[in-house]
Amino acid sequence: MINYNSIEDNNYKIIIISDTHGFLDPQIINLITKNDYVIHAGDIMDENIITTLSDISKKTFVVNGNNDAYKSVDNIKYIMTNAGKIVVTHGHKYAPNYHASMREKFTDAFLIVYGHTHKHIIDTATMPYVVNPGAAGRVRTQGGPSCLIVSFDNKNFSFELKKFPNS
In the predicted structure, residue 2 carries a pLDDT above the cut 80: no
Phi, psi (deg, nearest 5) at residue 122: -125, 100
DSSP state letters, 100-131: HHHHHH-TT-SEEE--SS--EEEE-SSSSEEE
pLDDT, one tens digit per residue, over 3-13 is 789 998 999 99
Contact by Cβ (8 Å): 130, 104:
no
For 91, residues 6+ apart whose C-beta sits below 8 A from its C-beta are 41, 42, 98, 102, 114, 115, 116, 117, 132
**pLDDT tens for each residue of 124-139:** 999 999 999 999 999 9
CATH of the domain at 92: 3.60.21.10
List the domain range (segments joined by +) for residue 105. Answer: 4-163
User: Number of folded domains in the chain?
Assistant: 1
> What's the one-letter identity of residue 52?
T
The yes-or-no verdict on residue 63 having pLDDT over 80 is: yes
pTM of the model: 0.96
Residue 161 has pLDDT above 90, yes or no: yes
Q: Which amino acid would we find at residue 155?
A: K
pLDDT at 1: 57
- Largest Cα–Cα separation, the chain: 42
